[in-house]
Amino acid sequence: MFFDILKHDIKRKKTMNIIVLLFVILAVTFISSSVNNLLAITNSLENFFDKSGVGDFITFEIGNSTPSAKEVAKNTDGVTEIKTEDCIFVTKCEFGQEEIKNSIIIDSLKNSIQTFFDQNNMEISQVNDGEIYVPQTILDDKKADIGDSITLTVNDISKTFTVKGVLKDAILGSRFVGVKRLLVSDSDYQSFEKTDKANLQKMEINFIKTNNSPALKKNLVVCDSILNADDRSLFYYTYVMEMIVAGVLLVVSVCLIVISLVILSFTVSFTLSEEFRQIGIMQAIGIPDRKIRFIYMVKYLAISVVGAVVGLILSFPFGNMLLLRVSGSIVMTYSNGALLGVLCAFVVVAAILLFCWVSTRRVKKFTPVDAIRNGSTGENYKKKRIIHFNAKPVRPVLFMAVNDVLSGIKHFLIMLLTFFVGISMIMVCLNVSSTLQSEKLLGWINMRECDAAIATTSSSNYMVPNGREKLKQEIEELESVLEEKGWKADCFTEVATNVILTKGDTKVKTTGIEGINTDTDRYAYIEGTAPQNKNEIAITRTTAEKLNVNIGDTVTLQINDEEKDCMITAIYQTMMFMGDSIRLYPNQSYGFEKLVGLFGIQIDFSDNPSDSEIERRIQALEDIYPDDKIMTAAEYADDCVEGTGDVVQGVSNMILLVVILIDILVAVLMEKSFLTKERGEIAMLKAIGFKNSSIMVWQALRIGIIMLLAVLLSIIFANPIGQLTTSGIFKMMGAENIIFDTDILKTYVIYPIIVFTATVFSVFISALSIRNISSNEINSIE
């Protein structure tokens, strides 16, 4: 008998059972792949760094200083080994006609301490002359591939190479690291070394083994030639974006599991209310409630086990697909995937069974009398209707739909919640993406707002004794060119240099940012006022906390060999340099020989041109400077945060697909349950002359109204939810106060319309089965 009932249930509620099964599959696929990916990335990073032999602490040094990083490390307690390698800065790097604007260094196997890997995770043991290995991020950016040609120039020497493979470089391989490394053969490397020694710029990388990183970091503060010096664990953070993708997927998975459980609860309740007669009869013939519940437990055990197995199988290709992007830069060595996947699947099955057991408690409330009295256990006075037809000039199907929603909002809550969570997730991602791609971002990362920008060539061009003058002159020349075209504009840029701040006994090495051809008033500050002279600085919260200082405090500022006392006048935020920097007053006197960074040249047109005019001027500038990359302000902002906006946009699109899928499944499930419950009413409507199309519109309208409510709620709450969920990530990147720059059309109109249309259309398709309900069924419907 048990199995007869089970068979009957599986047959009758085919669609609902399939939807529950699909949810289990989705939940297991997502949770297994995201947990696996997150662990795979973090574990593989550890292994990757170990295999690469990068030690515990890494320093990057440009030029000579006294003392050098190596000397300081030697005299620091806990340091057991120091290995050093030199890399050559390239003056120009071109893929065909397209120049790579990153700072590029070249290395060779003989010269290198670090171990490199290729696209197949194999250690690179040989590079032939004329061949080169290039990081995946460069190939992606330039849409280049293995086999393409690349031309490198170091001062007067130019050589063309064929891309042999992808270079997996632990410390410089992430898209968040500005300096990129290319690997050439030993003889090619040596031929570049033969260039004019005076103009040959090198970077020294030290790989240090130590058990006392904090002490080493503190001691290294005195080395003013250090570009960057950090414990290797901090380099893991450069792969944060890869982890964020896996993290977002984990959040989606948790939402999916919650939705699956809610759907399950709904399905169980619906099934029980449909089968009160069978349950009543079973009770009447003496079958205990426990055994009746067992029938449903068996059914959901079967569904969840099948779903878990299928989901687990799917999680492997799905996880690998997600890892594709990451595995281009990291050597993936994680191998516990299967075991962890099984564990995740087991957790999902256990959660479903537990929930099912709790949901079937309702069986206890049924009595044999229910079966006899057709489910009626007495008077049932519901709340009065909220709305009435009266004389309102409203279409009956619309009225019926609105009335149904208002009369039984509880029945629609699952849908409302699911739609709301899904649409909110999309909106939050879109808000983050549009903010990261917005020109307003410039203000929030302490850059001056502008209309356009020109990507500069490598900073090494200006790291010469008269570099400051050379840069200023080039900016003035650009202003003249623009003026000749009739476009009066302010042109300016930013340079970054290493500085040391001292307050009492605390010394902090950080990055000093100086605007060239602009003044400090043009930047946004969280607190305080802009520095007004060379003895005033603005500071980020991160740096201020390291030094334990605040606005009004005086610190000693050391740039190169020059030392002076400066007062802190403002606090600002930036997502660059991991939020650790200070802003200097312009026209400082230090030379550019030890610059650590040069930003693009920004253009602020004085005549407030329209967007289309700016676009036109950018096109004209592209003709004047064909070798340079000319960007809009928004493109420049995205460039400054290393294209993070694009990554988030990709995540948004992925979430959109998942949300559409979930919404369709939930909507179809609910619609099928409504059709079962309302079969009599539908037959009656047909009998009194309602057309199939009108009844289908009524059914679809209800879901449409819920979707509309969800969209409205999401519009209201997307911002606070976004602030709540993403502030941590932004803070980690150095920005504590980000106000989303919403692309209203895309976020509040286009994407919701896509979800709305897909969901309501799927409901309409499900409602087509209304055509099979005959009006003469009315007297035979229970």
Partner 1 sequence: MAILEVKDLCKTYITNKRQNNVLRNVNFTVEEGEMVAIMGPSGSGKSTLLYTVSGMDSMTAGQVNFRGKDISKLNGKKLAELRLNEMEFIFQQMYMLRNLSVIDNIVLPARQSKANTLSAKEKLERAKELMRKLGIIDIADNNINEVSGGQLQRACICRSMINSPNMIFADEPTGALNRASSNEVMQELSKINKEGTTIMLVTHDTKVAAECNRVLYIVDGNINGEYTVTQGDHRKRQRGLNNWLLEMGF
From 279-287, 325-333, 478-486, 676-684, span contacting partner 1 (CB under 8 A) = 676-684
Return the range that interacts with partner 1 (CB under 8 A); candidates 104-112, 385-393, 563-571, 756-764: 385-393
Q: Of these, 201, 686, 735, 742, which contacts partner 1 (CB under 8 A)? A: 686
Contact call for residue 774 and partner 1 (CB under 8 A): yes
CA dihedral (111, 115, 121, 124) positive or negative:
positive
Residue selected from 64, 97, 126, 380 as contacting partner 1 according to rule CB under 8 A: 380
Instruction: Assess 681 for contact with partner 1 (CB under 8 A).
Output: yes
| Integer Cα distance of 193 and 440 in angstroms | 43
Task: Choose between 694 and 725: whose C-beta lies nearer to partner 1.
Answer: 694
Burial class (CB within 10 angstroms; exposed 0-12, middle 13-18, buried 19+) of 47: middle
Q: Which three-class secondary structure state does DSSP give residue 208?
A: strand
- DSSP string for residues in 759-773: HHHHHHHHGGGGGG-
Q: Which one of 218, 443, 680, 713 is in contact with partner 1 (CB under 8 A)?
A: 680
User: Does 382 participate in binding partner 1 (rule CB under 8 A)?
Assistant: yes
Backbone torsions φ then ψ of 161, nearest 5 degrees:
-125, 160
Does residue number 288 form part of the binding site for partner 1 (CB under 8 A)?
no
In the complex, what is the shortest distance from the CB of residue 703 to partner 1, in angstroms, rounded to a whole number? 15
The nearest distance, CB 377 to partner 1, in angstroms, is 13
Q: Residues of 560-590 as b/e, b for ≥16 C-beta within 10 angstroms? A: beeeeebebbbbbbbbbbbbbbbbbbeebeb
Among residues 388 and 488, whose Cβ is nearest to partner 1? 388
42 lines the binding site for partner 1 (CB under 8 A): no
Taking the C-alpha atoms of residue 6 and residue 716, their distance in angstroms, rounded to an integer, is: 45
Residue from 120, 392, 626, 745 touching partner 1 (CB under 8 A): that is: 392
Interaction between residue 781 and partner 1 (CB under 8 A): yes
- Cβ proximity to partner 1: between 214 and 396 the closer is 396
Q: Identify the burial level of 445 via C-beta atoms within 10 angstroms of its C-beta, where 0-12 means exposed, 13-18 middle and 19 or more buried.
A: buried
CB distance 116 to 133 below 8 Å: yes
Binding to partner 1 by residue 396, rule CB under 8 A? yes
Name the residue nearer to partner 1 (CB basis): 379 or 505: 379
Cis peptide leading into 67, omega within 30 of 0?
A: yes
Residue 691 has a CB neighbour count (10 Å cut-off) of: 10
Query: CA dihedral defined by 437, 443, 448, 453, rounded to 10 degrees?
Result: 0
- If binding is defined by CB under 8 A, does position 772 make contact with partner 1? no
Question: Binding to partner 1 by residue 694, rule CB under 8 A?
Answer: yes
Closest by CA to 468, choosing from 514, 415, 520, is 514
Q: 89 or 690: whose CB is closer to partner 1?
A: 690
- Sole window of 192-200, 649-657, 683-691, 715-723 interacting with partner 1 (rule: CB under 8 A): 683-691
Considering the rule CB under 8 A, would residue 393 count as an interface residue with partner 1? Answer: yes
Which range binds partner 1 by CB under 8 A, 603-611, 668-676, 682-690, 751-759?
A: 682-690
Distance CA 255, CA 528 (A): 42
Among 2, 346, 389, 625, binds partner 1 (CB under 8 A): 389
Of 27 and 415, the one with the shorter C-beta distance to partner 1 is 415
**Which run of H or E residues covers position 602?**
strand 601-605
Question: Is the CB of residue 74 less than 8 Å from the CB of residue 82?
Answer: yes
Nearest-approach distance from CB 773 to partner 1, in angstroms: 12
Q: Contact between 373 and partner 1 (CB under 8 A)?
A: no
Indicate the length of the chain as a whole number: 782
688 binds partner 1 (CB under 8 A): yes
8 Å CB contact between 416 and 710: yes
> What is the rounded CA–CA span in Å between residue 672 and residue 665?
11
Cβ-based nearer residue to partner 1, 133 or 690: 690
The nearer residue to partner 1, 276 or 740, going by C-beta atoms, is 276
**DSSP assignment letter at 438:** S
CA distances from 745 to 338, 712, 752 (A): 43, 14, 10
Nearer to partner 1, 143 or 384 (CB): 384
According to CB under 8 A, which one of 14, 385, 485, 488 is a site residue for partner 1?
385
Contact residues toward partner 1 (CB under 8 A) are 380-382, 384-385, 388-393, 395-396, 399-400, 403-404, 407-408, 680-681, 683-692, 694, 774-776, 778-779, 781
